[in-house]
Copies of this chain bind each other. A is one copy, B any other.
Amino acid sequence: MPALKPIELHRTGAADLIAQALREQLVDGELRSGDPLREADLAEAFDVSRNTVREALRLLTSAGLAVHEVHRGVAVKSLTVEEVRDLYGLRELCELAGALRAETIDSAQLATLRTPLDLAAAAVVAGEGRDAMTHDLAFHRAIVALACNRRLDAVFVGVLAELRLGLAMMEPSSLEQWPARNEELYARFAARDAAGASERLVPYLARSCEELIGHLQETGTGRDA
């Protein structure tokens, strides 16, 4: 036994890798809502066959990140106002499920909230808006994780991914206010105050939702289905 092969526990096929690459381009805002995803182009870009690209696109569409119209191809999904409302409604449900557990968390779980919070704060002072948002969302994912339900986590990750379709297109407003707001929320968890955490979470999400909707309407995105 010369050397342990670098463990590739989660070996993935080419289609999965391409889907992941596209996902990343989506959340980074490199692909904008409505952009067409042409099979031939992607096949050449990733140097794979068109069939493999098709599999990757199936994954994206079934994840809700793209839409697929027969004989017209796949395009990056553009969110409608109604969809944003639904997504935020679902997001609220997920986060409240996590916040409910605030009463019974231990210090290790509290630490999982602390880390992304610090990273987000650092990104804010560095003026890195995109990073700040990434870590902010990680903070919220940690909140949901308190519910100790992997399926719930998966749903939440999907919701965030779809929301980022819209969020990626707007400059986060009042960035410098985020750390204070998050610290306040964190303090409620540190105090094991579930009700207090929920009370702060709901208006925060409502504000964030209306902000995104406002931006969608401004830029005229998310028009006809």
Contacts and interface: CB of A to CB of B under 8 A. Distances in A.
A87 interface: yes
Interface in A89-126: 89-90, 93-94, 97
List the number of copies, as a whole number.
2
B59 A89 contact: no
Query: For the side of the interface on A, what is the size category?
Result: 20 to 34
Contacts of A86: 149-152
A4 interface: no
Nearest to A96: B93
Contact of A93 (B63, B83, B93): B93
B59 A152 contact: no
17 contacts: A11-B70, A12-B70, A54-B55, A55-B55, A58-B58, A58-B59, A83-B151, A86-B152, A87-B151, A89-B147, A89-B149, A89-B152, A93-B93, A93-B94, A93-B97, A93-B152, A151-B159
